[in-house]
Structures are given as structure tokens and as C-alpha cells.
Structure 1
Amino acid sequence: MDMPLLVKLTSKAWSLKTLALLHSGVPGRQAPLIAATTASRSAFATSLEHLIQLGLLEKNPGHGHPLRPEFRLTEQGKVVAAMAHRILEAAPGEDGFGILKRSWPVPVLALTEAPSRFSAIRSGLGAITDRALSRSLGMLEEREWLQREIDVSQRTPFPTYQAVNAGQIINRAIGLSLQGL
């Protein structure tokens, strides 16, 4: 998965959970998906439309049986949905999902397989502000999904960040999807 797509995907709070639910077999109809995500109708509708615009989800063409799914995953959507499922399995519970539904933690974890400097992470993400990146790094470090170390080998010491624990599992889940796309 390319970084711009990952950043766009995580820009809507319920996108990852919706894809993960579709991957795990929840019917592609609005009512069961809204109930399973616990999102408000408007937030869910925004995320659903966002997934359609990204080409990961499509409206089921034609009319038919009332139990026929309204939405289905595209071929690319199936790969991304499998990734979303693995990501959410790595961070079970509402606390973990509370972090993952924010815009930047998942893309930050994607870039921190090896020790990375703040500036390298920022340049890899593109449109992120320094403040948003600092907050995401702090939140991930507090959760112990990211490890911060000070590199003193240079004349000017600088911090590096690397995914650990659940953050490392999330990083690997994203890496597996890179191979699938």
C-alpha cells in the first residue's frame, strides 16, 4: 500500500473498522455495519462514502433480494480490508481503537519499522504538521507502541522512533499489504 492511500484511508475515523468488519463477514448493509461499528449515522456515512471514493468499496449493482448486500469490497478493497482486520486485531478494545481511529497513528507506525528521525517521518507523511506528528508520536510512545531513544553517536544528539509491541505488529500488517497491492 502506498503511503498517500494509507494517509487518505485513515483520515476518516471509521474507515479501518468498516473494512475490518466487512473482511470478517459482517453483511455489507448499512444497519449491521452501523451497529457493529457503534458509529453515528453521519460519521459512518462519511466514512462509507470516503471508502467508495478511494475505490475500496462499491455499491452492489442492480436490485434484488432485500438481504443482498448494499456494498461490497473491490479487489483492492479486499487486500486493504485484510490489512485493516490485522491492524485492529493487534490493538483490541476501545482504548486501542481510540488511538487507531485518529488520522496519523497508523501511517506513523508504517514508517517506523527501523529507527527513524522526526524529520524522516514527517517527510514520509507529506501533509502532516509538526504539532500533529509530535502528538501522534507522544500518544504512541505513551501507549508503548513506539519506542523513543536518543542517538548520541552524532555531535548533536537526536531522538529516533521505532515501532515496538503492538506497534510492531501493526507495522508488519501494513508491510504485508504492501506486498499484496
Structure 2
Amino acid sequence: MSKEQFVLQLAQQLSGRWTIPILLALENSGGRFTPLQRQLDVAPARLSDNLKQLSDAELIHHLTPQERRHPLLPEYKLTEKGKLYREAAEAIRSSEAQIGHGALSAKAWNMPVLVALNYQHGHFQEIRRVLQTATPRILSTRLDELRGEELIVKNIVDQPRPSFVYELSSLSEKPIAVLTTDLSSLV
């Protein structure tokens, strides 16, 4: 897997409303379910589902009753892979703060689209090809939303035939370039 593919995959795996907040808050809550739920202000069922997904992705480890500080209280800890992803989550949060448009990673495909544009994949089909599992509908929706927030620019080119080309706006160009460098340094 190339660095570019790794960075795009990492950006996609960290997309979603609760993924980054859980990774960043897990250790502060002592790894326990209830303090984590209170800290994030998330419904227990939603948190449980997200913790299961993170556990299935091998980012966190659900401790057995013998490993826990209290056998009846659910407890989690980051795996080595999870610690790497937490560093990536911190880099994404930093770039989101620099851009100033809130938690862009909370919506699936926002960050992968921005990272793909940073890698100079400007045509719709190029972006779709490098993001692999993004459907045309979600990709079109995200491109329109990001354009509406003035994070990307849509231009028309004449050669070899008229088509649209997307690129990062001046607002997002530098933070996304730094993010891409930070994520590729984790390889």
C-alpha cells in the first residue's frame, strides 16, 4: 500500500461523528464506559455501537473482567494501532481548528475528499477512483457541501474537453497540506 493510499484510508477510517472524540477522550475517562459517555454526552447505545466498531477495527481493546479495575464496569484501552490512530485524530482536529469550520471529520467522506484534492486528484472520476468505496451520490453531495463552505473551488477546463476540476480553496489548502504531511509521517 502506498503512502497516499494509507493516508486516504486513514482519513476515511477516522470519519464519523464519534470516532475521533472517542479516540481522544478514552484515556482521559480512564477507559470506563460511563465517564466516557458523560464526557462525550452521547447516548449509551450509540457509544456502545461505536466502541464495538472501534474494537472490531482493533483500535481499542475491551478488557475482560479479570483485567478491569472493577469486574462489573466495562473498560477499554487503546491498542498500539489505536494509539497511532489517536495521533492521526489529533492531527485532524488541529487542521479542523485551523480551517475554522467545525468538526469536518464528523461527516463521512469530508476529510478523505479534502486529502484526495491535496494529492491533486481534481476530476470527479479521479476522486472516486482513489476513494474506492465512495458512491457517486455521496461524493457529489460532499463536493457540493465543501464548495458551499468555500473549502474547495470548482473550475471548468476546456482541454482536452470541457470538464470540471476541483481544488482546495486558499482557506483549506495549507491546513490540509499540513494534515496530509502529518498523516503520511505516521506510515
Question: What one-letter code is carried by the residue in structure 2 that aligns with 1:158?
Answer: S
Q: For 1:117-153, what per-residue CA distance to the aligned partner results, in whole angstroms no more than 9, with x for missing partners?
A: 111100111122111101001111112222222223x
The answer as to whether partners of 2:14 and 2:105 remain within 8 angstroms in 1 is: no
Pick from 136, 146, 150 the counterpart of residue 156 of structure 2.
150
Structure (1 or 2) with the larger CA radius of gyration: 2
Instruction: Give the aligned partner of residue 80 of structure 1.
Output: 85
TM-score when normalising by structure 1: 0.80
Runs (5+) with no aligned partner, structure 2 = 1-5
- Report the CA distance between 1:95 and its aligned residue: 6.0
Q: For 1:153-178, what per-residue CA distance to the aligned partner results, in whole angstroms no more than 9, with x for missing partners?
A: x0422222223434652453244223
Pick from 68, 71, 76 the counterpart of residue 76 of structure 2.
71
Q: CA RMSD in A?
A: 2.8
The answer as to whether partners of 2:7 and 2:183 remain within 8 angstroms in 1 is: no
Q: Rate the CA distance shift 1:174–1:57 in 2: closer, same or farther, 3 A.
A: farther
Q: For 1:89-110, what per-residue CA distance to the aligned partner results, in whole angstroms no more than 9, with x for missing partners?
A: 3335x9622x421211121122
TM-score when normalising by structure 2: 0.78
Question: What one-letter code is carried by the residue in structure 1 that aligns with 2:95?
Answer: A
Once residues 170 and 75 of structure 1 are traced to their aligned partners in structure 2, the CA distance between those partners, rounded to angstroms, is 25
The answer as to whether partners of 2:95 and 2:176 remain within 8 angstroms in 1 is: yes
Q: Rate the CA distance shift 1:63–1:101 in 2: closer, same or farther, 3 A.
A: same
Count of aligned pairs = 176
